[in-house]
Structure 1
């Protein structure tokens, strides 16, 4: 039985807005970026109009102005160091393929920011302090990655090209050095670094992969914010986790910070270059520190328990950070005290806190986060909400989707399976070749715990997720058909071979790394990891939502999977919407969650 869903949940008498919907509608803001040479000017993202768009903020006057206004929203924007202009990425209907545009901070007409560069997928952007220089990274199926130096009034000049994926890391404070991340060695999960001059000639190289024999990655964190300073802050994995070090690209000297902190550690510069703002993530939570580069002292910056999803040090030494927990909605705070940017309008209701669960699995201890309705006792209908990525992780942070399930009486379990970040390099890298199947082994171990612990009703188990989580949902329904009562997959990989051929070039490179080659080179691995291979084993009703312009999980491969479900009369519903890999429109997101809740209401046993 098949049903195409229109998504029209409107009509009828006026109703009181439920808490789950308020969480999506309540205005929220991102951490404001500020201009290096004009720190009173900032740029942030907000959903205040019902669509996520860019906003400028002049702190000296308090004035805020909406910068972009597009039907499907805009979140990719960069404020120039002088504060005079805003660059924003203009794609078509969420397909992520487009051009950079620019407009004055104080308002005015948008213009093509880098004339002469054809549309592409973005591969990084760095803007110079002179107000006229930009380093623009581009990715296309035909060219691979190209990087151009673009100066106002001059044709762009190509300074880098390679078939494998690469990206712009940073431009030095004086504009004399450009840091690039690249995967010329063919491992898209572990980048090497190259520093070049504006004419493209190489200055320094750093490669921890040793030609692919070691799976160690590097990342650019930023040049020192001082003229003539050749120090580059980078991240490395030499001790099995992400840590920062300072690399002087002129002398080659590397200053390893060797911070005594468990978990992953990242950092960025304080504005005068004398210290680092350290972000430490461990077991689904995070905290901040100040690290003095002269006396090598590490000082904790007080933040509440939960997750800091972004932080920045201001010229006056204060730190602004975006914080939330599973129970408390996000807020931008300052170490100076108080809320930095509080959007007007309705406030989001909170939710219930998470409980930490550790489960022994085939690859080691698995960390899961559990939420259950306040006062509820099991066994409960339970939603396994699987995160995307796969190189990502669920954390003790506010999430409107899981909170909606909790409001409706469900327990929610989120699993940081092998492939997730935050538990060491070996855990993140463990999923190669048996892609999808390894993650599902971990999810199955947590599922067994949920049942034996009395939390979950085995007859009412929902497997759901978006992107890679949607992929694991469809793969789990086919490879573990007796385990799940219902499946809800958003923007999933459904037919891995077709997805590979249709997706954006950077993701093709990632798939070659994960599976060890192309579908033609390792067909057995693609088949073993493709939900389409197991579609005839699916027994549970399936709900699928998909963006028709999605470049990451393209629509054709989803249609192939849906056609197979329909051919055997399997119970399924499909919702297609006019956007890309998810939606930035609040009404659209609410419509999708409403459809998912209704699907569960109709198909889950009472």
Structure 2
């Protein structure tokens, strides 16, 4: 198969994400990429004799499934324009697919945060950084009740500080749960507001720097949460508790210092709490039965199984995937997990033009940081090596690369590149202490050394030669690519393709979405005014005069996260120093390049660069 055919086939492999389940467990909806030219929403009736995906949307934009309407006769979806993150909410009736009924305005002057429908289906709840009475965009995100009959929008909660937050409605439709950052950029507090806005108060706050994640349990009267503080002491792991709304009492249900908990979820079916852990970037899930207090730990398997929810018939739903297995919605009894006896629902292989043998498997690769910290990532070894290596750096940095199909990684391996995907300190997937380690010295320090040490390990093991390594990545991976090309010698990094990456951390702080600024503050130890020296020394723009390797700059023109102002600033500085570079701007993209037609252009350009 030639390289062009392979890329076309690769970019037609379906990718499933944002899966939601109806309250009865008889229907699912999800966003699916590569079935249509972009990302669209599909649904499946699991109770049908032959469950079949049915398209609910077909547009040129990225459309996301948010939730079923309470009566499960429609799905709430969101869509923005060219991925500018100015989302509009729609209702799509299951009986009238491909017709999207708008619930909010097009391309709004604010960022909307998710959406929940009241059981009456007359009210829509969401977060928005906007004062509708004054028609003014805000720094903080307010919580709104939107009357779908009168179009009246009532502010239920009015936080004063910006923070990433979104409201979630309990099943009875009486209260909304949301998060605030009132005291410290690292910590957050959980608040509860009733659906009429009469009582808005803090319910969980363990310390100014305490991190808390919370989710409603199905009864709508209790809340599961996890936190890294307990008894006024910081921990190096997360403890899990249950908060009772009526009494304010807390019951601690999971408190294991050896655990590596990263997230919680509670299905709408049954009475379960799913506790998601990770070991070397592999999923490990514990099912906690809230009624019986029994715990069921799913075994480790080949590949990854992301457990979602019970279905209507007592079996479970999950997404199964690996670097040689496209993401597939599967259904199974729990006892079938060890033998991988899953029943496919989305039947992904029938829609793919490739076979498992056409993918390059991810292989474990381990090395050590400069301080001796054990590190782990993935190697993708080409069948026909060219002697060159591409380092694919993930974004976040609070994220990680899994054993999964990443289209561009597979394409580079097919083109003969050794691909190295490091999970540097600060990545999730390795426990609390590893994820927190990046905060010791902040962005642009130890985690960048981890990447450099990984490249050195590849060279020492003769997996690649000096001067044959290029780096690329999106968002924080783009920042890391900028860091590498300005700091590393060409023997270590000979080329860089930063995609939507920060160049000047001051410019980024001033132009990014307001809810993202606290993230910069916690990772750099303050604002640009408070720690100007750190913002300067960690900004690649101040070291472009050191660039000796090849540079291709990639940016989405609609990006509100790492805005094009970063590119404008660095281009001016590059020109001042007469540094050569190439530029690739995608006018109809935002934070990252996701449209299939654009991915084809980008991946070919990087491989040929």
Same fold (TM over 0.5): yes
Please state whether the residue corresponding to 2:301 is helix, strand or coil: coil
2:421 matched residue in structure 1: 414
Residue of structure 1 aligned with 2:473, choices 465, 474, 483: 465
User: Structure 1 CA distance, aligned partners of 2:3 and 2:438?
Assistant: 46
1:10 matched residue in structure 2: none
Residue of structure 2 aligned with 1:347, choices 349, 353, 377: 353
2:498 matched residue in structure 1: 489
User: Structure 1 CA distance, aligned partners of 2:547 and 2:172?
Assistant: 59
CA shift in 2, pair 1:38/1:414, >3 Å? closer
| Residues 115-264 of structure 1 mapped to structure 2, 5 A cutoff | 119-139=109-129, 142-154=138-150, 155-161=152-158, 162-187=160-185, 189-200=186-197, 201-202=199-200, 205-208=203-206, 210=207, 212=208, 215-221=209-215, 223-226=216-219, 229-238=220-229, 239-258=235-254, 262-264=259-261
CA shift in 2, pair 1:443/1:125, >3 Å? same
Please state whether the residue corresponding to 1:195 is helix, strand or coil: strand
Deviations 1:351-393 (A, max 9, x none): 22312314243272222222222486xx942222111001101
1:74 matched residue in structure 2: 63
Please say if residues 41 and 55 of structure 2, whose CA atoms lie closer than 8 Å, have aligned partners that are also in contact.
Answer: yes
2:410 matched residue in structure 1: 403
Please state whether the residue corresponding to 2:548 is helix, strand or coil: coil
User: Structure 2 CA distance, aligned partners of 1:114 and 1:53?
Assistant: 19
User: Structure 2 CA distance, aligned partners of 1:396 and 1:15?
Assistant: 25
How far the C-alpha of 1:80 sits from its partner, in A, is: 1.9
Please state whether the residue corresponding to 2:467 is helix, strand or coil: strand
RMSD: 2.7
Please state whether the residue corresponding to 1:423 is helix, strand or coil: coil
Please state whether the residue corresponding to 1:465 is helix, strand or coil: strand
Please state whether the residue corresponding to 2:236 is helix, strand or coil: coil
Please say if residues 540 and 571 of structure 1, whose CA atoms lie closer than 8 Å, have aligned partners that are also in contact.
Answer: no
1:523 matched residue in structure 2: 532
TM-score by length of 2: 0.87
Confirm or deny that 1:103 pairs with 2:92. yes
| Residues 79-98 of structure 1 mapped to structure 2, 5 A cutoff | 79-98=68-87
How far the C-alpha of 1:588 sits from its partner, in A, is: 1.1
Residue of structure 1 aligned with 2:597, choices 567, 574, 587: 587
Confirm or deny that 1:306 pairs with 2:295. no
Confirm or deny that 1:112 pairs with 2:102. yes
Deviations 1:532-567 (A, max 9, x none): 011111111011111111111111221221233234
Deviations 1:480-527 (A, max 9, x none): 234311111111112222222221111223222222333233221211
User: Structure 1 CA distance, aligned partners of 2:533 and 2:392?
Assistant: 28
How far the C-alpha of 1:585 sits from its partner, in A, is: 1.7
User: Structure 2 CA distance, aligned partners of 1:270 and 1:15?
Assistant: 44
CA shift in 2, pair 1:81/1:231, >3 Å? same
User: Structure 2 CA distance, aligned partners of 1:269 and 1:276?
Assistant: 5
How far the C-alpha of 1:291 sits from its partner, in A, is: 2.4
Please say if residues 54 and 74 of structure 1, whose CA atoms lie closer than 8 Å, have aligned partners that are also in contact.
Answer: yes
How far the C-alpha of 1:190 sits from its partner, in A, is: 3.0
TM-score by length of 1: 0.88
Structure 1's unaligned 5+ residue stretches are 1-13, 600-606
Please say if residues 55 and 64 of structure 1, whose CA atoms lie closer than 8 Å, have aligned partners that are also in contact.
Answer: yes
User: Structure 2 CA distance, aligned partners of 1:117 and 1:543?
Assistant: 31
User: Structure 2 CA distance, aligned partners of 1:442 and 1:308?
Assistant: 29
Please say if residues 23 and 70 of structure 2, whose CA atoms lie closer than 8 Å, have aligned partners that are also in contact.
Answer: yes
Moved more, 493-502 or 589-598: 493-502
2:133 matched residue in structure 1: none
Please state whether the residue corresponding to 1:25 is helix, strand or coil: coil
CA shift in 2, pair 1:380/1:298, >3 Å? farther
Please say if residues 38 and 81 of structure 1, whose CA atoms lie closer than 8 Å, have aligned partners that are also in contact.
Answer: no
Tell me which of the two structures has the higher relative contact order, counting C-alpha pairs closer than 8 angstroms and 6 or more residues apart: 1
Deviations 1:229-281 (A, max 9, x none): 41112222244234533221222222222265632253333545433333331
User: Structure 1 CA distance, aligned partners of 2:218 and 2:327?
Assistant: 29
Moved more, 442-451 or 271-280: 271-280
Please state whether the residue corresponding to 1:403 is helix, strand or coil: helix
Please say if residues 288 and 303 of structure 1, whose CA atoms lie closer than 8 Å, have aligned partners that are also in contact.
Answer: no
Moved more, 134-143 or 321-330: 134-143
How far the C-alpha of 1:193 sits from its partner, in A, is: 0.5
How far the C-alpha of 1:89 sits from its partner, in A, is: 2.2
How far the C-alpha of 1:47 sits from its partner, in A, is: 2.2
User: Structure 1 CA distance, aligned partners of 2:116 and 2:237?
Assistant: 27
Please say if residues 277 and 313 of structure 1, whose CA atoms lie closer than 8 Å, have aligned partners that are also in contact.
Answer: no
Please say if residues 223 and 242 of structure 2, whose CA atoms lie closer than 8 Å, have aligned partners that are also in contact.
Answer: yes
Please say if residues 502 and 508 of structure 2, whose CA atoms lie closer than 8 Å, have aligned partners that are also in contact.
Answer: yes
User: Structure 1 CA distance, aligned partners of 2:19 and 2:447?
Assistant: 35
Poorly superposed stretches of 4+, deviation over 6 Å: none
Please say if residues 228 and 239 of structure 2, whose CA atoms lie closer than 8 Å, have aligned partners that are also in contact.
Answer: yes
User: Structure 1 CA distance, aligned partners of 2:292 and 2:52?
Assistant: 40
Please state whether the residue corresponding to 1:534 is helix, strand or coil: helix
CA shift in 2, pair 1:90/1:266, >3 Å? closer
Deviations 1:174-220 (A, max 9, x none): 11121111112241x43210112123313551112x2x3xx321112
Please say if residues 262 and 282 of structure 1, whose CA atoms lie closer than 8 Å, have aligned partners that are also in contact.
Answer: no
Residue of structure 2 aligned with 1:335, choices 315, 332, 337: 332
Please state whether the residue corresponding to 1:474 is helix, strand or coil: helix
Please say if residues 42 and 59 of structure 1, whose CA atoms lie closer than 8 Å, have aligned partners that are also in contact.
Answer: no
1:501 matched residue in structure 2: 510
How far the C-alpha of 1:332 sits from its partner, in A, is: 1.8
Please state whether the residue corresponding to 2:326 is helix, strand or coil: coil
